[in-house]
Structure 1
Amino acid sequence: MIPSRRQFIRTGLGGSLLLTFAGWLNAAGARPLTTAEREMLGAVSNAMLDGALPAAGEPRRRLVALTVDGIASEVAGLAPATQREVGELFGLLVVAPARMLLAGVGKPWREASVADVGEFLESWRTSRLGLLQGAYAALHDLTFGAWYARPDTWEAIGYPGPPKGYF
């Protein structure tokens, strides 16, 4: 079905408002993650790292929190323009209407299941839209970068650590 001109205009205006709101939320540049962003990144990390994390409980929550802390450190080390872009992505994903529309996740991030978040991530990974694929890649790289930046995760992939004596 082809959208009517009125639907097209409404969708365009709605998208513009969401982008404006996301930009406004992140106008300050480098800053600590908000509680909503931490919850979103926790849900994303929980889904992306599902096979590597303990099955449930406090050990899993602790490792997800460490990963989110690592993501915050990574973002703080990015160039200011990249920080703004990542901040806009985070800003969109934490706003309920955008979360539902763009990610298809109806529940708040703290209540979303691993399966729901996994479906959203897979839909972005395989999307026909390069913008969504790029957003998935950013979430993926930030999550796995934070995970594997910690020495306690290296053994699982057989990485012995950096060469000794060169630094």
Structure 2
Amino acid sequence: MQRRSLLKLGLVSGAVLALAGGAAVLLRPGLEQGRLSASARGLFASLGRAILQGTLPVDAQACSRALAGMVERIDALTANLPPAVQAELSQLLGLLCTTPGRLGLAGLAPAWADASEAQVQAALEGMRFSSLALRQQAYQALHEIVGGAYMSDESTWAALGYPGPLPL
């Protein structure tokens, strides 16, 4: 194969993959009518396990309840975001919930639900310290959403050493 043919093949393949990825995001948005899709819920549960390591309850049932509550608070948050922010978040979540998007943006091969906590943490660290601003921004958004949603519940405050707001 000649170099010119190889370059053409690479460009055409890249364009096809970009179109397919864009179509997948349009067909599987991260938010459906302002609410988290099932795949986005799974994404945030996996992110919660990785980001909140050490602050989640040790008991498996309590941990599951804490993560489910966090996902519900994220769902309530997304429903109250302005439409433009909802659209951007939906694109990010839709992209991360597809295999090409997850590989390209997070560098994670297994699906979010199938990935170990260490794999998700490594993917997040890759995004955090990436030279691409887009990956860093995606990391910051996901980190802030997960941390804010989890720590906004009073039941988490004692484990974090936060006594709560001062009485007025």
Taking the aligned partners of 1:7 and 1:161, their CA distance within structure 2 comes to 56
2:21 maps to 18
Is the radius of gyration larger for structure 1 or structure 2?
2
2:63 maps to 60
Q: 1:43 aligns with which of 42, 46, 53?
A: 46
Structural mapping, 1:63-102, within 5 Å: 63-102=66-105
Q: Over aligned residue pairs, what C-alpha RMSD do you find? A: 2.3
Taking the aligned partners of 1:164 and 1:125, their CA distance within structure 2 comes to 37
Q: CA, structure 1 residues 54+160, in 2 after alignment: closer, same or farther (shift >3 Å)?
A: closer
Amino acid at match of 2:157: W
Q: Is residue 160 of structure 1 aligned with residue 163 of structure 2? A: yes
Structural mapping, 1:131-142, within 5 Å: 131-142=134-145
Q: Is residue 143 of structure 1 aligned with residue 137 of structure 2? A: no
Provide, for residues 80-132 of structure 1, a one-character-per-residue CA deviation record: whole Å limited to 9, x for no partner: 11111111111011112322333232222222100010011000000000001
Bigger mean CA deviation after superposition, 21-30 or 77-86 = 21-30
SS in 1 for 2:36: coil
Taking the aligned partners of 2:120 and 2:59, their CA distance within structure 1 comes to 16
Taking the aligned partners of 1:90 and 1:146, their CA distance within structure 2 comes to 16
The share of aligned pairs that are identical, in percent, is 33
Q: CA, structure 1 residues 113+82, in 2 after alignment: closer, same or farther (shift >3 Å)?
A: same
Amino acid at match of 1:94: C
1:124 maps to 127
Q: What TM-score, normalized to structure 1?
A: 0.84
Q: What TM-score, normalized to structure 2?
A: 0.84
Taking the aligned partners of 1:125 and 1:95, their CA distance within structure 2 comes to 20
Kept in 2: contact 1:41–1:68 (CA 8 A): yes
Report the count of equivalent residues.
Answer: 163
Kept in 1: contact 2:50–2:121 (CA 8 A): yes
